[in-house]
Structure 1
Amino acid sequence: MSTRYFIGRTGQLADGTPSAIAKRAATTPLMLGPLGFAGDEQTDRRFHGGPDQAVHYFPAEHYQALAARFPALRRFGPGDLGENISDTGWLEDEVRLGDVFALGDCRIAVTQARVPCHKIAKRLDEPDAPAFVADTVRLGWYFRVIEGGMVELDTPLTRIDSDPSAPSIATLWRLRLDPAADPAVISWLASHPALGRAWRAKFAQRAEWLERNPPLFR
């Protein structure tokens, strides 16, 4: 599968909830700016969009696992879970925080995992889908835009820089959920410049709590 690009405007889910989770494949070159691709929307800006979540990537491989778990989802495919970019070959246990990717002359950097929300359940009409996505770490991730520009539709996604000391997206997700995570690692992530600001704030809160409540045993 070649790299594919998706954009979408706000519509309504089956229950009337406004959402732009349903994206459609782009048919013309896309301008990429600090807030993402031109022509793309994020409906609820409290939780979606902004510089740290400018572009969403979701591995195309995950649709097969979703369809195997929820047979009714065989009608869904790339673009249906809000992703702007989809391809095969990049997965959560291989992509690291801060990895820099090239899209032609554009540069984008990995900031955080995508947190599955209730709109996935409503979009797929499967109440258990968000938990399945979270538990199996089939999350996708977000990029911030370092250098914008025009992206042609046949432009491949290419990783050009990676810090081997940075956690993978899968590890980052598990650290976010692990109540017994190493306080030193949590503190390090709280100030990591590549991490999205909202996630840094969450890790900072964890670090402060752990400092006040050190574990008795480790």
Structure 2
Amino acid sequence: MKIISTNIGKRIEIDWKGVMITTGIFKFPVDKPVFLDVEDVKGDAICDREEHGGIDQAVYGYSLKHYDYWRKLYPDLDWQLGMFGENLTIDDLEETKIYIGDTFKVGETILEVTKPRQPCIKLGVRFNNMKIVKQFWNSTKSGVYFKVLQTGFVSANDEFKQIKKCVENPTIAEVYEAKKIKNGI
């Protein structure tokens, strides 16, 4: 696997149907290395620290292969990498084959898989359509949160090399499915 793009976003306020929403979900590719720190990606806006950032959600990765699935559902969007709010767009990150605790070496960093992302209203704002939130829940294309075990810089085209596999643990897709059941979705 390899990194296709590194993405960061700024803190912005959006008027969503009369309600002001502050978000950092509008992420776009950058042409320079990004620094993955212990609790976040340096220079990337995190507006809701309860749901994003922190040790177990320092970096969010999403698979480029999933973009084809979503483009078919939303063909009229202006598609760009970073659409899902991911910091790292990875060529082939498959949630059904990634286990909690799996560890990867990428650039100067070492990342450990911690959990799937749960969609929220801000994904609907990004897509300008709240249907995406339920559709996201009804797929296994959640993306992956990572803990940063070793900080450092990561760039587009860096190899995303697995150095530890934890098959004794559930996959990201299995954890995501369990959260759906727990949340009654």
TM-score normalised over the length of structure 1: 0.76
Aligned to 1:128, which of 128, 131, 134? 131
What does the per-residue CA deviation read over 1:26-72, in whole Å, with 9 as the maximum and x for residues that have no partner?
22222221012211121111211111110001111222211212222
Name the SS of the counterpart of 1:72 in structure 2: coil
Q: Is the 8 A contact 1:5 1:25 kept in 2?
A: yes
Q: Is the 8 A contact 1:31 1:149 kept in 2?
A: yes
Task: Give the C-alpha shift of residue 177 in structure 1.
Answer: 3.0
Counterpart in the other structure of 1:191: none
> Partner letter of residue 177 of structure 1?
K
Q: Is the 8 A contact 1:23 1:83 kept in 2?
A: yes
Counterpart in the other structure of 2:122: 119
Q: Which structure has more RCO (C-alpha within 8 Å, separation ≥ 6)? A: 2
Task: Give the C-alpha shift of residue 118 in structure 1.
Answer: 0.8
Q: Distance in 1 between matches of 2:50 and 2:92?
A: 31
Task: Give the C-alpha shift of residue 105 in structure 1.
Answer: 3.0
Counterpart in the other structure of 1:151: 154
> Partner letter of residue 113 of structure 1?
P
Q: Distance in 2 between matches of 1:63 and 1:13?
A: 24
Larger radius of gyration between Structure 1 and Structure 2 = 1
Q: Is the 8 A contact 2:142 2:176 kept in 1?
A: no
Aligned to 1:173, which of 153, 170, 176? 176
The number of equivalent residue pairs is 179
Name the SS of the counterpart of 1:98 in structure 2: coil
Q: Distance in 1 between matches of 2:168 and 2:81?
A: 31
Counterpart in the other structure of 1:188: none
Counterpart in the other structure of 2:13: 12
* Percent identity (aligned): 27
Q: Is the 8 A contact 1:63 1:77 kept in 2?
A: no
Q: Is the 8 A contact 1:13 1:123 kept in 2?
A: no
> Partner letter of residue 20 of structure 1?
G
Q: Does 1:87 align with 2:97?
A: no
Q: Distance in 1 between matches of 2:56 and 2:76?
A: 33
Aligned to 1:40, which of 40, 44, 50? 44
Q: Does 1:107 align with 2:110?
A: yes
Higher strand share: 2
Aligned to 2:165, which of 148, 162, 181? 162
TM-score normalised over the length of structure 2: 0.89
> Partner letter of residue 163 of structure 1?
C
RMSD over aligned Cα, in angstroms? 1.9
Q: Distance in 2 between matches of 1:156 and 1:21?
A: 25
